[in-house]
Amino acid sequence: MMSSSSLVKFMLFTSFVILLTLLYFYQEKITCSSPPLPSIQSLKVQSQQVPCSCLNGATALKNYVNKDKFDDIIRRRAEEYKKHQIRKKPPPSKVLLAQANSPLQYPIQGFTVIPLQKSLIPGLSVHAVEKQNYQVTLSVSGGVLAVESLQEKDQVEGQGEKVLSISTSSLQSLNDLLGRVSYRSTVYSIKSGDLVHFTFDQYKAVFPIEIRQPTVPVLYDLGEGISSQVTITTKTFLRYNQLNYLIRSIRNVYKDIKIIIADDSFNPQKVNGSNIEQYFMPPAQGWFAGRNLAISQVTTKYFLWVDDDFEFIDNTKIEKFVEIMEAVPELDVLGGSVGTNAFTFKVLYEEGDEEGGCLSKIPGNYQPVPGIPNCFYTSGVVNFFLGRTDAVRRVGFDPLLKRVGHSEFFMDGLGELLVASCPDLSIGHQAKRADTNGEYYKYRMPPRSDTDSKLALHFFKNRLKCVKY
């Protein structure tokens, strides 16, 4: 029999062990418990627009906007931006979160429908334990839902409406009905979307439907020679000596290739030669207006842009440009180097809040083009580049920029054009000539007012609050 002192010691020891055990499991509960999931409200706050940061040395663009009309300009810019978002950001672009360990199966991407046409929703099903009754609900906002080949015994409510409810006592029957659920948009739009809300018991899911009108392919026949693949384009202003020298250097290598010239000189002179198209513009319309005109007349798959004071050299191989562009069909613009100048730049952009976005242009490239030696992805290149005609036309050159534009084209094309640079592809730059028309230099260096107007244009057109070149 245990003595009273031994009994007390035993009880104290047992209590100590129990206390340690409780502390251990309490600590495990603290360490192993998952942090709480963010609420839907907090996710909405996180997804709202936040101010972007202007880099040191960036130009604040509001300083170049007419002060007397500033409030009205801000209002008009906000209205235009809302319309831009409607065109560019359909409803399914919002963040959607999949619930953890959900028994619901549904398409998370890739479900695209033609406007106003009925399409089966792929992959809908429920994976749950056996129970007496099953009920699911699906709802949409921009279309209607239905179960195809519906039988009288099927318990379906909301057939052909925005909210569809399915009830059954069999999981197999439920999944058979879900496999026949269709969606049809009711509002015609060539590029929009809808969201499907899918509910079963306490489980809820949301997945997107993309609504797209199919596009018709526009193909270019490359033919068999470089003349059927590429058109050389240039813009000239008061520099006919340089232009004629350029044409002679082209004809030394490419006898038959078409050359298109946009000319906004004050006293235009006809350029002679075969397969040359010269388009006369009102005087001094500017750099970008001339580019638009020249490229609008291109009928080949590609155009090669050159300045009127360049010259073709031994290393100017248009065929190499085409070879690379054909090997990488995603490319839209491929630049080379002018003499030793192979300058490339990256355009960095943050959307920002209601004040506008922040944009900066810095020298450099992103990464090598796979399989193409010494070629790199970038945002912008020098004035010597091969462009995919239809892609460049879609972006276009803003004719409001007369003598202070080049990188602005690549800014407008950010996210629309895939650009690369291959410095080994080069062209020469003519030496400066004493016989250049003296009037040309009056326009070569634009007044400060041109730059100020460009900055004000960035404020409204590109919705920027600051820019750094």
HSE at residue 230, side-chain half, CA atoms within 13 A, is 24
Kindly report the pTM of this predicted structure: 0.83
Tens of pLDDT along 215-233? 999 899 999 899 999 999 9
* pLDDT tens sequence across 267-276: 999 999 999 9
Task: Please tell me the predicted confidence (pLDDT) of residue 29.
Answer: 38
Asked whether residue 452 carries a pLDDT value surpassing 70, the answer given is: yes
* Averaged pLDDT, 392-412: 92
Mean pLDDT of the residues in the chain: 88
Under the banding of pLDDT at 50, 70 and 90, the label for residue 441 is low
Question: For 337-381, how does the pLDDT look when each residue is reduced to its tens digit (9 = 90+)?
Answer: 999 999 999 999 999 999 999 999 999 999 999 999 999 999 999
**Predicted local distance difference test score (pLDDT) of residue 448:** 86
Q: Which pLDDT value is given to residue 42?
A: 38
- What pLDDT sits at residue 445? 72
Q: pLDDT for 291-350, tens place per residue? A: 999 999 999 999 999 999 999 999 999 999 999 999 999 999 999 999 999 999 999 999
* pLDDT over 80 at 393, yes or no: yes
31 pLDDT more than 50: no
pLDDT beyond 80 at 439: no
First vs last C-alpha separation in the chain: 94
For residue 79, name the pLDDT band (cuts at 50, 70, 90): very high
